[in-house]
Amino acid sequence: MKEKNSLSTVVSETNSPEASHSSIEEGVQRHWQGVVKRRSFLKGLGIAGAALSAGALLGTDANAQTTRSTGKLPKGDTALLRFAAAAELIEADLWQQYNELGGVQGGNAAYIAALSNLDGDMAQYISDNTDDELSHAAFLNAYLISKGEEPVDLDAFRTLPSSQATGAKDIGRLTNLLKLNVDLSWYTRYRSAKNPDFGARLKGPFTIKNQPAIPLNDNDTPPNQPQPVPPGTPQEARMQAIANTAGFHFAFIEQGGASLYPTLIFKATDPEVLRILVSIGGVEIDHFGLWHDKAGNAVSQPLAGVTDPETGLTFPDLNALNSELDQTNLILAEPCEFISKSLPPCSVIRPTSTQEQSPRSRLLRMTSCSLVNRTHSLAWLTNWLSRLIRSDAAFDCCKLSPLAGQALYLFDRLQRLHFYAIRFGDVSYSI
């Protein structure tokens, strides 16, 4: 209550016609000093991490400069940034494929038209999202280099085939958009009062399996065909189903980033690393909100009911079910269980608990549906992350940080995941 009164005093002084510049400044300083004192108090209680987070976000330019001049980063924080850089490179690879075919400068007119049936600005959104992910990857690698750390380079793994449709570049890819299993549990999760952090296991409203999200070739989907609503020919229905799949995959990619960054943020110790993760993570959440809205247009009138003639996938009219778990315009996160079941429900990003799922798990969930269905594709990602954790989070055994236990846990789970991938030769399971 005192905090509110103190802040109100500053506001009222600012709005008063008699207030001078010095009195306003004094009021702000008094309020800030109160924040600093409370931060010191919290640090004394052993929860300096929370206070440091606020300090990183509210600090002055001088403090930021001091942080930048401290030299090398803690090994754990370096590992977090390299992990994030890997995620952004994989995301960027997905978005570049979508952008080549369906962005503002995209080369496949029929695909652009089918995407535009979901929203008239889809091409612009795709191009902007692509630029964002490329900027994240470039910034994280440049920042690592500025700190004397090795950047992340996945170019050696760009071996997967491209689409053969008009507009696609014939280059190696990190990810596969030609045959996807898209997890739709996020759709139900954000409409439910249940939270995966408390063990809730939610299913999506329907199943997308072995479905392309970009045109395969010009014989399958001619690049200059019209895309009326509803589609009138099997090839028009095929292209619309491909675009609808992309719409749901867009949201799936970005909800992964929305949950991934909080799990990384919880482990950061350096204020500047914290600032980076919070700032990029916020954009991932923004992306998810956008694509969550657009995906619903594929399963509401007038587009609802499109069936892919090749795979048999049908995009149902979810609004016809008269259920809040399916209603397409309920795109804002439903209040759910959070922190403790004894507390009232709260509208939050979920899941975010590192106990329930690790950052490694979030990254693999975000990318596994886009890896080609061969063991080696999962193996390279698993091995690469294993090396990252062993080399950059190789903590001194005499002074293990809280991140060390998490890193060891991640490495153990990665080894187990790789074993199962080799044993059963399949990557289409849920993590």
In a domain, 365, yes or no: no
Residue 384 lies in a domain: no
Q: Does residue 370 fall inside a structural domain?
A: no
Residue 236 falls inside a structural domain: yes
Cis peptide bond N-terminal to 309, omega within 30: no
Q: Per-residue pLDDT tens for 190-235? A: 999 999 999 999 999 999 999 999 999 999 999 999 999 999 999 9
d(CA 333, CA 346): 9
Residues 51 and 183 occupy one common structural domain: no
Q: Is residue 202 classed as helix, strand or coil in its secondary structure?
A: coil
Give the pLDDT of residue 267.
87
Coil vs helix vs strand at 285: helix
Q: Compute CA distances 111 → 102, 235, 356, whole Å.
A: 6, 12, 39
Segment 298-325, tens digit of pLDDT: 999 999 999 999 999 999 999 999 999 9
Residue 428 resides in a domain: no
Whether residues 9 and 87 fall in one domain: no
392 within domain boundaries: no
Q: Are residues 46 and 79 in the same domain?
A: no
Q: Are residues 98 and 36 in the same domain?
A: no
The pTM of the full predicted model, rounded to 2 decimals, is 0.73
- Whole-number Å distance between alpha carbons of 350 and 288: 12
pLDDT of residue 417: 43
Which of 47, 68, 89 is the last residue in one of the domains?
68
Element (H, E) at 41: helix 21-44
Residue 201 is assigned to a structural domain of this protein: yes
Residues 371 and 172: their CA atoms lie apart, in Å, by 13
Q: Are residues 150 and 54 in the same domain?
A: no
Please report the pLDDT score of residue 44 as a whole number: 39
Looking at the structure, tell me whether residues 255 and 113 fall in a common domain. Answer: yes
| Pair 53, 198 in one domain | no
How far is CA 99 from its chain centroid? Answer: 18
The type of residue at 44 is G
Q: What Cα–Cα distance (Å) separates residue 21 from each residue in 5, 12, 14, 16, 136?
A: 20, 13, 9, 11, 40
Q: Count CA atoms within 13 Å of residue 43 on its CB side.
A: 11
Domain boundary (68, 88, 119) is at 68
Looking at the structure, do residues 206 and 111 belong to the same domain, yes or no?
yes
Residue 367 in domain: no
Count: domains in the chain: 2
Q: How far apart are CA 149 and CA 270, in angstroms?
A: 15
Give phi and psi for 208, each to the nearest 5: -115, 110
- Could you list the residue range(s) of the whole structural domain that residue 39 is in? 2-68
Whether 18 and 158 map to the same domain: the answer is no
205 and 158 in a common domain: yes
Say yes or no: 99 and 12 in one domain. no
Q: How far is residue 344's CA from residue 386's CA, in Å, rounded to a whole number?
A: 39
Residues of the chain predicted below pLDDT 50 = 1-67, 69, 356-359, 362, 366-368, 371-379, 382, 386-431
**Does residue 279 share a domain with residue 176?**
yes
Task: Specify the pLDDT at position 381.
Answer: 52
Instruction: Tell me the β-bridge partners of 182.
Output: 208
The sign one gets for the Cα dihedral 339, 341, 343, 346 is positive
d(CA 84, CA 80): 6
Which residue among 68, 95, 119 closes a domain? 68
